[in-house]
């Protein structure tokens, strides 16, 4: 008789957990209150950023943040009304940015990324998704030599983790991406960075595969998770109780309350992000471009060209401010002369973010049968398969390939 597991949340993380648990013989039920992958996993920038091993909480960000936050439509927005709510998170972010903590988190992130890359390769192979991957790397762009020089410590730290990159100028820069504004004087090419054809299509294809392999989907909102004899009891919004042998909490930015009910106070908040997806052909884009100084990326997708990024603190309920998406599109047009900016679709998504830029993956305090898999911030698509593998290890009682101590819910005290 196969064991039974319920996965709360059918975003890319929940789906990757489903993939890995099915492979180990679990009977899997996804429980999702909305559409499959219609949360953060719907409209992200599609990067498999395995080379992005530097946690966002870093000394460099602390230097840039004050100027960013003063620009009303800049890369970082902090509405004054949300400040009291987010202040404890920001204090933790600042602590995590201190050099020794940042170094430690970099080692953890690098190990997680190594596993994530291996697990993604295996998962896409097993699920027939390899045709949805683009292997053309990422090009980070700079407006001055000084900006490139300022980025050097970060590249040196990546080099220590074995990340390959190439600083480029002139003809090599133009070869990697023709048609750039002359304002962009240099770049850094990371060849092992990948993208997917479209994050929503990618997730739906994974869902189709796990469904074909036996995963069931229940459309419902989970209100409570509690240990019960020999298993776990889930209470749904209509009052129905559902018994299962194990549970994975993968509800993205909405996981905090359910974790609290299991006795874990996790400082999960959301970094809201915006983008505009232009119709295919809006620009002859050769690979994903990163404008690090402006906090956005431009991604070639099968469904069009996606311009976006930015971080806005503001929680899960404030209405979106699409002027942010407009502002990034205007900047992109200035950097990519000839970009056709008409006909775009705007989107806002909720990154599930912990202040130390690492996810929560591990056992709940209340029960070893409830496993957390949330809080991947800017990197949930990238780390989805790696997370699935760790979750499968934990539920099987095996030691995961990554030391999960640094990822446990209780690490914030």
Ligand X SMILES: Cc1cc2nc3c(=O)[nH]c(=O)nc-3n(C[C@H](O)[C@H](O)[C@H](O)COP(=O)(O)OP(=O)(O)OC[C@H]3O[C@@H](n4cnc5c(N)ncnc54)[C@H](O)[C@@H]3O)c2cc1C
Asked if 273 touches ligand X (CB under 6 A), the answer is yes
Asked if 31 touches ligand X (CB under 6 A), the answer is yes
Any idea which residue has 């609290």 for tokens?
260
- Which candidate, 63, 49, 195, 44, places its Cα nearest to that of 110? 49
Residue 56 or 185 with smaller CB distance to ligand X = 56
User: Do the Cβ atoms of 303 and 152 come closer than 8 Å?
Assistant: no
Q: Where in 210-229 is the site for ligand X (CB under 6 A)? A: 221-222
In this structure, is the dihedral angle defined by the CA atoms of residues 151, 152, 157 and 158, taken in order, positive or negative? Answer: positive
Contact region for ligand X (CB under 6 A) — 64-72, 112-120, 167-175, 346-354?
346-354
Asked if 140 touches ligand X (CB under 6 A), the answer is no
# binding residues, ligand X (CB under 6 A): 42
Asked if 349 touches ligand X (CB under 6 A), the answer is yes
Torsion from C-alpha of 198, 255, 118, 246, nearest 10 degrees: -120
Residue 137 or 252 with smaller CB distance to ligand X = 252
> Minimal distance in Å, beta carbon 157 to ligand X?
20
| 377 φψ region: left (φ > 0), alpha (ψ -120 to 50), beta (else) | left
User: Do the Cβ atoms of 283 and 338 come closer than 8 Å?
Assistant: yes
> Minimal distance in Å, beta carbon 363 to ligand X?
18
Asked if 292 touches ligand X (CB under 6 A), the answer is no
Asked if 38 touches ligand X (CB under 6 A), the answer is yes
Cα 154 to Cα 59, 280, 309: the distances in Å are 10, 33, 20
Token readout for 309 is 């990024």
Cα 11 to Cα 38, 68, 139, 283: the distances in Å are 7, 30, 28, 30
Contact region for ligand X (CB under 6 A) — 35-43, 92-100, 122-130, 276-284?
35-43
Given 324, 351, 369, 389, the residue binding ligand X (CB under 6 A): 351
Asked if 19 touches ligand X (CB under 6 A), the answer is no
Measured between alpha carbons, how far is 146 from 133 in angstroms, rounded to an integer? 34
Asked if 132 touches ligand X (CB under 6 A), the answer is no
Measured between alpha carbons, how far is 267 from 246 in angstroms, rounded to an integer? 24
Contact region for ligand X (CB under 6 A) — 27-35, 171-179, 319-327, 404-412?
27-35
Given 21, 49, 53, 123, the residue binding ligand X (CB under 6 A): 49
Measured between alpha carbons, how far is 324 from 274 in angstroms, rounded to an integer? 7
User: Do the Cβ atoms of 352 and 375 come closer than 8 Å?
Assistant: yes
Site string for ligand X, 178-217 (x = CB under 6 A): ----------------------------------------
Given 55, 74, 187, 380, the residue binding ligand X (CB under 6 A): 380
Given 5, 6, 7, 8, the residue binding ligand X (CB under 6 A): 8
Residue 185 or 270 with smaller CB distance to ligand X = 270
Asked if 248 touches ligand X (CB under 6 A), the answer is no
Measured between alpha carbons, how far is 134 from 48 in angstroms, rounded to an integer? 9
- Residues in contact with ligand X by CB under 6 A are 8-14, 31-34, 38-41, 44-47, 49, 221-222, 250-254, 273, 275, 308-309, 349, 351-352, 374, 376-382
């Amino acid at each position: 008789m196969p064991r039974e597991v319920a996965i709360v949340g059918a975003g890319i993380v929940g789906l990757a957990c489903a993939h890995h648990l099915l492979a180990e013989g679990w009977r899997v039920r996804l429980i999702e209150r909305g559409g499959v992958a219609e949360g953060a996993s719907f409209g992200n920038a599609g990067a498999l950023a395995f080379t992005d091993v530097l946690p966002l909480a870093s000394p460099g960000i602390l230097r840039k943040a004050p100027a960013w936050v003063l620009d009303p439509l800049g890369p970082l927005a902090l509405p004054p009304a949300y400040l009291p709510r987010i202040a404890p998170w920001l204090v933790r972010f600042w602590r995590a940015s201190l050099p020794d903590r940042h170094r430690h988190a970099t080692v953890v992130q690098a190990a997680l990324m190594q596993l994530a890359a291996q697990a993604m390769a295996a998962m896409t192979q097993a699920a027939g998704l390899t045709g949805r991957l683009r292997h053309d790397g990422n090009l980070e762009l700079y407006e001055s030599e000084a900006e490139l020089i300022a980025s050097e410590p970060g590249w040196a730290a990546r080099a220590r983790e074995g990340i390959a990159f190439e600083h480029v100028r002139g003809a090599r820069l133009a070869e990697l991406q023709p048609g750039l504004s002359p304002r962009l004087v240099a770049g850094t090419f990371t060849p092992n960075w990948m993208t997917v054809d479209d994050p929503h299509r990618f997730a739906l294809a994974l869902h189709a595969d796990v469904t074909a392999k036996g995963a069931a989907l229940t459309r419902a909102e989970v209100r409570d998770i509690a240990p019960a004899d020999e298993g776990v009891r889930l209470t749904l919004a209509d009052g129905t109780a559902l018994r299962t042998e194990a549970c994975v909490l993968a509800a993205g930015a909405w996981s905090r309350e359910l974790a609290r009910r299991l006795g874990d106070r996790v400082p999960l908040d959301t970094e809201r992000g915006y983008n505009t997806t232009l119709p295919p052909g809006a620009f002859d884009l050769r690979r994903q471009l990163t404008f690090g100084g402006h906090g956005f990326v431009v991604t070639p997708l099968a469904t069009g060209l996606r311009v976006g990024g930015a971080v806005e603190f503001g929680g899960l309920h404030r209405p979106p401010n699409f002027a942010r998406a407009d502002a990034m599109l205007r900047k992109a047009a200035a950097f990519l002369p000839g970009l056709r900016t008409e006909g775009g679709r705007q989107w806002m998504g909720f990154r599930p973010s912990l202040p130390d830029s690492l996810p929560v993956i591990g056992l709940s305090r209340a029960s070893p049968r409830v496993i957390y898999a949330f809080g991947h911030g800017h990197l949930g698509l990238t780390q989805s398969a790696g997370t699935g593998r760790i979750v499968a290890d934990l539920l099987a009682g095996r030691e995961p390939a990554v030391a999960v101590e640094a990822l446990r819910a209780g690490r914030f005290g």
